């Protein structure tokens, strides 16, 4: 498997507008690619930063994974995403090595990425996303 870069850091926020007031208006980052992903009950905004990005995540439903995360742990860093060259190959290799995966198959992520999550029990406590983008 080839990991090429830190793709983004996912940050769970309660209120996207308030979060953007800080990241965009105070820190001066620009927000691109705001998108609702119904399947994951989440609204996201990407803030490019050098060679990587911050991903703000606001739940669109009280029973979505981001809402549950905030309920348990509060707002903050929810996941770290690494870019891989070939996600199918990466998942196959991880499966063969016995790593616990949340997604057995790649699914659709924001910005037309193919993404999959590894279980935090397999990664020393970090919810790790792998992502393949054009
Ligand atoms: Zn992400």
pTM: 0.93
Q: Ligand 1 centre from 23 Cα, in Å?
A: 17
Domains held by the chain: number: 1
Q: Ligand 1 centre from 41 Cα, in Å?
A: 13
Query: Tens digit of pLDDT for each residue in 61-102?
Result: 999 999 999 999 999 999 999 999 999 999 999 999 999 999
CATH code, domain with 86: 3.10.180.10
Q: Ligand 1 centre from 8 Cα, in Å?
A: 6
With a CB cutoff of 8 Å and minimum separation 6, the contacts of 97 are none
Q: Ligand 1 centre from 112 Cα, in Å?
A: 12
Query: Tens digit of pLDDT for each residue in 114-127?
Result: 999 999 999 999 99
Give the tokens for residue 87. Answer: 């996600």
List the domain range (segments joined by +) for residue 30.
3-132
Q: Which helix (H) or strand (E) holds 73?
A: helix 65-73
């Amino acid at each position: 498997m080839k990991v090429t870069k830190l793709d983004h850091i996912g940050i769970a926020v309660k209120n996207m507008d308030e979060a953007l007031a800080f990241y965009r208006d105070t820190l001066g980052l620009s927000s691109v690619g705001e998108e609702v992903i119904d399947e994951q009950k989440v609204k996201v905004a990407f803030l490019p930063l050098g060679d990587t990005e911050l991903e703000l995540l606001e739940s669109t439903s009280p029973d979505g994974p981001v809402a549950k995360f905030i309920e348990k742990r509060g707002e903050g860093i929810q996941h770290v995403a690494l870019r891989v060259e070939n996600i199918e190959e990466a998942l196959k290799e991880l499966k063969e090595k016995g790593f616990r995966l949340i997604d057995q198959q790649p699914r659709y992520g924001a910005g037309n990425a193919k993404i999959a999550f590894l279980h935090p029990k397999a990664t020393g406590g970090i919810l790790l996303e792998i992502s393949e983008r054009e």
